[in-house]
Amino acid sequence: MSVAKLRIYRGDSDGGQEVEYEVPVEEGTVVLDAIHFVQANYDGDLAVRWNCKAGKCGSCSAEINGMPKLTCKTRLDTLPLDKPITVHPLKTFPIIKDLVTDVSWNYEVRKKIPPFKYPEDTDWKMQQVDVERSQEFRKCIECYLCQDVCHVLRNHNKKNEFFGPRMMIKIAELEMHPLDIEDRKEMLREAAGIGYCNITKCCTDVCPESIHITDNAIIPLKERVADTYFDPLQWIIAKVKGS
Amino acid sequence: MANGTAQNSITLRTDAWWISPLITAIVLGSFGIYSTWRAFSNVDFLVQPYLSPFYSPYILASWWPFSPALLILWAPLGFRATCYYYRKAYYRSFFLAPPGCAVKPLAKEGSYTGESKFPFIIQNIHRYFFYAAGVVLFFLWVDAFHALWFADGFGIGLGTIILFVNVLLLSMYSLSCHSFRHLVGGKLDVFSKCPTRFRLWEKVSGWNENHMLWAWVSLFSVALADLYIFLLAKGIITDVRFI
């Protein structure tokens, strides 16, 4: 059995440092297992948020060797074990303790998105072909890895101006719903700040559910905003159609 | 920085994240230098029946004292410059915004405005460059068919094949465009009422998954097609005739 060295960030809002631990590596051992080993054998007060250990609850997000990942889905044997593995909390959100951060900002932003709105005489019959696009976005487990890696939030701290990739797929889910009649384009351009996204696709790269955040949500939303605010030809077509 | 206590370094990533933006910068930069030189040179672009794609359509205007390439290259250049794939590529490689995922960007915290302000707000008119590039693409198809007719009649040379492959790859790059995907059907919320547009959207979506690939291979093909004609014009090589 081989041994891995983990450098886990220990600290709180006042500061902290990496602490090194040695953990055994067996076939299938994931980083969350290693953290649990540390809790059980070295430091019982190591704080980590986790729940399902199956990649579905989105609780155990952290930065492993600098990349935002789910600790429960990251096998140690996929990492270079000749060097210590760093495990840090999500950089974008305020730290509470050790690997636990305060992600409540996301819930506050989520409340700003106008909810699903349907016509009064809706008969609720939908074709599968019409709802399939939105269903991809419903796979989101709200792990906030995409919010964490987005440089607009992570490095430029534009939390008052940009909702972030997770909220963009929520808006896309609603905007593309065949029965929804709410228009969120003005909000997308203004409050949600879709113009801040520069399509560098890191959100898509880190998504554990493999949602095509950029190609299927953010870019189509940017195109819808372009229809309304940047395309005179679309304005004429809309005028002629009377819509 | 949102979580000032956890990470202050450029990145904690241990992989070779810098290789991809470096290669992109070298290749895109090389293409930029080569195409600028060829566009301004105004010589060695026509060897019957082959016309360099940098000079197509060939416009001879008495009022234009500069290279005719400059009259048309703004269209494909604008199409690529505002392309959703190339945006990712050059934001990462040239603007370091950011150079890699979870890597600190070059711009200072708070100074970033993304595509919400001038000059990058212009990216919103990508579709208009798509229309303009479509016109140029039409003439490239005309040139490819023209390359079947030599002084001694119908024939196929290596140049003919190169021009056909080039225009085919450029067509795939254009038809896999995100804006085209939106315009052809992506803007609809109810596909079932427009089955033809839905089928078109499905087809374009399939091509769009490989948009990056089409972007690169068409970039190489257009440079190689021009280089082949340049070498023919200089007499460094001679064309191979198959028929």
Q: Could you state, in order of their start, the residue ranges of all structural domains in chain B? A: 19-234
| A155–B104 CB contact, under 8 Å | yes
> Nearest CA to CA, how far is B6 from chain A (Å)?
6
Q: Is residue B5's pLDDT more than 60?
A: no
B113 inside 8 A of chain A by CB = yes
Element (H, E) at A10: strand A2-12
Which amino acid is it at B188?
A: L
Of B84, B124, B192, the CB nearest to A129: B192
Q: Residue A38: which residues within 8 A CB-CB, separation 6 or more?
A: A6, A8, A21, A23, A46
| Average pLDDT of chain A, as a whole number | 96
User: Which residues in chain A have Cβ-Cβ distances shorter than 8 Å to B84?
Assistant: 199, 219
Q: Which two tokens stand for residue B52?
A: 């360099």
| A149–B91 CB contact, under 8 Å | no
Which of B 127-156 lie inside 8 A of A, CB atoms?
127-128
B112 inside 8 A of chain A by CB = yes
Cα distances from B136 to residues A67, A243, B31, in angstroms, run 42, 33, 19
| Average pLDDT of chain B, as a whole number | 95
A89 inside 8 A of chain B by CB = yes
Which of B 189-208 lie inside 8 A of A, CB atoms?
189-192, 198, 208
Of B87, B179, B208, the CB nearest to A223: B179
Q: How far apart are CA A97 and CA A83, in angstroms?
A: 25
Q: Is residue A174's pLDDT more than 70?
A: yes
Using pLDDT thresholds of 50, 70 and 90, give the confidence band for residue A242: confident
Phi then psi dihedrals of residue B170, to 5 deg: -65, -35
Mutate one of A87, A90, A122, A223 to test the B interface: name it (highest B CB count within 10 A). A223
Average pLDDT over residues A145-162: 97
pLDDT of residue B4: 46
Q: Residue A209: which residues within 8 A CB-CB, separation 6 or more?
A: A139, A140, A141
Q: What is the DSSP string of B41-56?
A: H--S-EETTEE-GGG-
User: In which region does residue A87 sit, left (phi positive, over 0), alpha (psi from -120 to 50) or beta (all else)?
Assistant: beta
Average pLDDT over residues A125-136: 94
Mutate one of B17, B93, B94, B101 to test the A interface: name it (highest A CB count within 10 A). B101
Q: Are B79 and B87 in contact (CB under 8 A)?
A: no
Range with the lowest mean pLDDT among A117-126, B36-45, B200-209?
A117-126
Q: Is residue B6's pLDDT more than 80?
A: no
Instruction: Quote the radius of gyration of chain A (alpha carbons, Å).
Output: 21
Q: Which two tokens stand for residue A111?
A: 């409340």
Of B3, B15, B191, the CB nearest to A130: B191
| A222–B102 CB contact, under 8 Å | no
A55 inside 8 A of chain B by CB = no
Of A65, A93, A193, the CB nearest to B12: A65
Which of A 124-143 lie inside 8 A of B, CB atoms?
127, 129-130
pLDDT of residue B109: 82
Q: Is residue A172's pLDDT more than 70?
A: yes
Neighbours of A56 (CB within 10 A): 16
What digits encode the pLDDT tens for the residues A72-94?
Answer: 999 999 999 999 999 999 999 99
- Whether cis (ω within 30° of 0) applies to the bond prior to A208 is no
B80 inside 8 A of chain A by CB = no
Pairing of strands A85-88, A2-12: parallel
Q: Are B239 and B159 in contact (CB under 8 A)?
A: yes
pLDDT of residue B110: 78
Average pLDDT over residues B163-183: 98
- Whether cis (ω within 30° of 0) applies to the bond prior to B98 is yes
Q: How far apart are CA B27 and CA A130, in angstroms?
A: 41
Task: Walk me through the domains of chain A, giving residue ranges and CATH numbers.
Answer: 2-101 (3.10.20.30), 104-241 (1.10.1060.10)
User: Which residues in chain B have Cβ-Cβ distances shorter than 8 Å to A237?
Assistant: none
Q: Is residue B2's pLDDT more than 50?
A: no
Of B7, B12, B102, the CB nearest to A149: B102
Q: Is residue B1's pLDDT more than 50?
A: no
Neighbours of A111 (CB within 10 A): 7
Nearest chain A Cα to B178, which residue?
A: A219
What is the percent of chain B where pLDDT is above 70?
97
| B97–A151 CB contact, under 8 Å | yes
User: Which residues in chain B have Cβ-Cβ distances shorter than 8 Å to A200?
Assistant: 88, 91-92, 97-98, 101
Average pLDDT over residues A10-21: 96
Phi then psi dihedrals of residue B48, to 5 deg: -50, 130
Average pLDDT over residues B87-108: 96
pLDDT of residue A26: 95
Using pLDDT thresholds of 50, 70 and 90, give the confidence band for residue A140: very high
Nearest chain B Cα to A90, which residue?
A: B3
- Residue B182 DSSP code: I
- Whether cis (ω within 30° of 0) applies to the bond prior to B49 is yes
- Whether cis (ω within 30° of 0) applies to the bond prior to B53 is no
Exposed e or buried b per residue across B17-55, where buried means at least 16 C-beta atoms within 10 angstroms of its C-beta: beeebeebbeebeeeeeebeebbeeeebbebebbbbbbb
pLDDT of residue A243: 65
Q: Is residue A241's pLDDT more than 90?
A: no
Of A65, A83, A199, the CB nearest to B84: A199
User: Which residues in chain A have Cβ-Cβ distances shorter than 8 Å to B13?
Assistant: 65-67
Neighbours of A168 (CB within 10 A): 29
| B110–A156 CB contact, under 8 Å | yes
Instruction: Quote the radius of gyration of chain B (alpha carbons, Å).
Output: 21
At A165 the three-state DSSP class reads helix
Task: Give the helix ranges, DSSP H, for A140-218.
Answer: 145-149, 151-154, 165-175, 185-189, 202-206
